Every structure is written in structure tokens, then in C-alpha cells.
Amino acid sequence: MLRYTEKTMDVDVCIIGQGLTGLVAALKLKAAGRSVLLLEKDKMSGGLAGDMPLGNTRIEHIYHHCFANDFSLIELLYTLDIEDRLQWYEPKNGLFSNGHLYSFTTPLDLLSCRSISLPDRIRTGLTVLQAKRVNDWKPLEHETARDYLVRRSGKTAYERIWQPLLLAKFGDDADSVSAVWIWNKFKVRGASRDKSQRAEKLGYLKDGFGTLVSAIVEKLKADDEKRVTLMNNVEVEAIEKTKTGFEIQTNDGTHKAKQVIAAVAAPMFNHLTKTLDLGTYRDLLNVTKYKANICLLLSFDRQVTPYYWTTICDDLPFVVIVEQTNLVAKEVYGSHLLYLSCYLDTSDPLWLKNDDEIEAQFLAGLWSLFPDAEGSFQKKLSLIRSQYAQPVIPTLYSQKQPGIRTPIEGLYLAGMSQIYPEDRGLNYAIKLGKDVAKAVLEKNDV
């Protein structure tokens, strides 16, 4: 049954999701004169890039940085007049493997990592360097990341270095991930290094990426004609087709729009469009599985690790430690900040535990690596569960990827699994937001 409330809107375009993709699409549509309604189920805008206040600054619930070749992101900062917020850092990275903590910042570090033999270290280094020179990713589509890495680095290097990383991120699905995914990782990281390949440059915004979200929201709201309406705490439950457009049913009433952009993950879109006839397009929505993520943010009196980013290859409840205050000075926040993060399926018992149980399990893991840290622990600042955190991209995905345009005219999907061959990232969410807005405007049927 349809529910209409006083808040019911009738607009040109309804965008579901106020992550960066939805927000950027709204910017473009507003600039083209469209009336836009943005619905978001969370209280805050920003989606995975959402943040919270901390002292005189802000911090993301989930660690974020950007890369030197994130051109869409950098361009947007200029458009919003906040480019001076972008600062570049040269952080140090570590790798925890077989009970040892290795420095893993430069190619030289790889050469001295005794986890594998010298010839295997050289092959591993060459794998990364060679991948960075590959521009045509199409031939890699046929192969899994596993086969590609075994072929290039050898079985031992695969088992000691790459397999734990793939397992950490993709669990049971590790063997089905496409070689294009790992190639892309090498390419993005390589492009963020200087010519000597020594230092990797990572970017971070003064006061965090939440300031980018706020700048977009401010620009969307700055409108005398009130062409853009943002609604938070409004969860979309279904999208229905009508003769003239769409009805968007939410937990807080029904809205009408001539066109709809679902800036959400493909499985969510699948759920919202249950009653629509999407033909074979619906099969494509089920091709990509998503891994969920749990991210815990903690504060300490003292530094815990010497690194910004420590990849964990051993069996622990988390797969990466990100010590934010080894990137940005501790003085900015008033204490040392550290994230612990893991990827998992929503059927995993850990996902079903309550926050206190998860925190206890993560802390026990951290103390097992850094026993001294327990004495300097202050408190948990945030614990966030993201159901759609990382798409598992299979082989030959270019033939299976759902397009931005769905078979129903005026209905668009713009989610993380549609930026292939790139992997998820703020930069690609921004690009996707622009692309989907362009598709809407090209149609010219508003």
C-alpha cells in the first residue's frame, strides 16, 4: 500500500544514497537545472566516507587516503575551492608475516624480507614492476589473480605473501578473484610512487575526507530556487514504475520522480526492484558478491606501530592495522589513532557478534602483536559495519558487468561494482557520479 506524507516530493530525479557517487551525481544534475531529491538511510551523508567530530577536527569512521593519480577527486577539490586542504605524505608501511613485523615501504624492503628466498623476492618485485607497465588489461581478464601471481612470482611467494593477502580480503572467494583486480592494485600504488619507486605519496585532506562531503552538501543546499532536497534517516524500500515515472517507497512515505538513480550496491538495487521486470539484467546483479567490512577506531596515549599501514598475513581477527597518526600528526587529534579492519561474509559468526564482543576480540589480537600497547589504550572511538564494502570481481567481468542504464527507461544504477577495471575508491565514486548524471542528461527525457 502506498504511503503519502506531507513530505512527499515530486521531482525530476530521485537519487538513492548520499555516498560520494550520489552526491556528485546530484551536483551535476543541479548544475543542469534538474530538481533532485537525495534519500539516505543513515543520519549522516558520505556513505563509506562518513566521518565524525573529534576535538577540533574530524575523523572518518573508516581509514581513507588518496593517490597521486586520483584525478577526478583532485578536480572536484578545485571545483569546490578546497584544493588547499589536500596534503601529501610519504608514510611507511609494514607487513606482519610468520610472527615477524617487516618494513614494507620500498622495493628494497621486499628484497630484505626473509619470509621468502632471494630469487622469489626478486621475482615478486618484478611481478609488481611488470604489472605497472601493462596498459591493456583485457588479456588478464581470462586469468584469476591466483594463477597470475603463481605464474609470475612462483608458488612459494604466492603462498607466503600473496595468498594471505587475497584470503584476508576475499576469504573463501580468494581463488575466484580476477587477475585484473591485483593488476589494478599494483598500477594504482605504482602511480603514487616517485620515479625512483622509493617513496609512495598518499594524500589526505586537512580535517579529513568528511570535509569534501560537507563541501558538496553545502553546495547542494546553497540554492535559492530549492532545486535540491536532501533527506536523511529515510530508507528506500522499493522502486515502482508508473506511467509517468517512478514511485519511490520509503520508511517515511512515498516520493515521485521522473527518473531514478540508485547510487547503491547491486544487491541492494536487486532488492529494491523486486517487482520490476529487468529481464536478463537482473542476472548481472547477482554476478558480483560483496564482502562486508568491520572497522574499529581506537585511541592511545602512545604510538603503537612504526607504520601507517601494516598488512597482517598471520591468523588474526583483523587484516590491516592503519595507524592514522603515523600519517597525520598526533597533535591534530590530541591522541594516537589506530584503525583495525577485517573483511568477511555476513554469515561469518564475527559479523553476528555485538560491538563489545568484536572490540574484545580485536583488542586481544592487537595485544598479541604489541603487548605494550595495552597500557596506553584509551578508548574505542567508533565501530562500523559496512555490508557492501568490497565487490569480488570475477574473471571476464567486462562481459558480466551491469551497465549504468537498466532496461527500464529512466532507471539507473551506479554502484561500486560498475567502475571496472578500476577497484573501489573515492576517485572512482566521483567519476561514476559524473558518468551517471551524464547518462541521465543525455537521455534528455526529464
Ligand X SMILES: Cc1cc2nc3c(=O)[nH]c(=O)nc-3n(C[C@H](O)[C@H](O)[C@H](O)COP(=O)(O)OP(=O)(O)OC[C@H]3O[C@@H](n4cnc5c(N)ncnc54)[C@H](O)[C@@H]3O)c2cc1C
Closest CA to 345 of 283, 423, 267: 267
Query: Toward ligand X, which CB reaches closer, 235 or 277?
Result: 235
Query: Toward ligand X, which CB reaches closer, 158 or 181?
Result: 181
Q: What are phi and psi of 216, to 5 degrees?
A: -70, -45
DSSP-based three-state secondary structure for 15? strand
Which listed range, 14-22, 172-180, 300-308, 346-354, lies at the site for ligand X (CB under 6 A)? 14-22
Tell me the residue ranges of DSSP E strands in 98-225.
100-103, 202-205
Q: Are 310 and 264 in contact (CB under 8 A)?
A: no
Q: What are phi and psi of 95, to 5 degrees?
A: -140, 125
| C-alpha cell read off for 78 | 578545485
Q: Quick check: 208 binds ligand X (CB under 6 A)?
A: no
Which listed range, 1-9, 36-44, 160-168, 252-260, lies at the site for ligand X (CB under 6 A)? 36-44
Residues 6+ apart with CB under 8 A from 366: 304, 318, 321, 340, 373
Considering only 424, 438, 439, 441, the residue that binds ligand X (CB under 6 A) is 424
Which listed range, 18-26, 134-142, 304-312, 346-354, lies at the site for ligand X (CB under 6 A)? 18-26
Q: Quick check: 417 binds ligand X (CB under 6 A)?
A: no
Tell me how far the alpha carbon of residue 270 is from its chain's centroid.
20
Instruction: Give me the least distance between CB of 142 and ligand X, in Å please.
Output: 26
Instruction: Give me the least distance between CB of 223 and ligand X, in Å please.
Output: 21
Q: Quick check: 91 binds ligand X (CB under 6 A)?
A: no
The Cα–Cα gap between 46 and 60 comes to: 10
Query: Toward ligand X, which CB reaches closer, 265 or 373?
Result: 265
Considering only 35, 299, 324, 386, the residue that binds ligand X (CB under 6 A) is 386
Q: Output the CA–CA distances (angstroms, integers) from residue 287 to 105, 223, 268, 270, in the order listed.
A: 35, 40, 13, 11
Q: Quick check: 22 binds ligand X (CB under 6 A)?
A: yes
Considering only 32, 42, 303, 422, the residue that binds ligand X (CB under 6 A) is 42
Alpha helices, H only, 179-231: 179-191, 210-221
Query: Toward ligand X, which CB reaches closer, 5 or 117?
Result: 5
Q: Quick check: 28 binds ligand X (CB under 6 A)?
A: no
Residues in touch with ligand X (CB under 6 A): 16-22, 39-42, 47-49, 62-66, 235-236, 263-264, 268, 293, 295, 341, 386, 389, 416, 424-427, 429
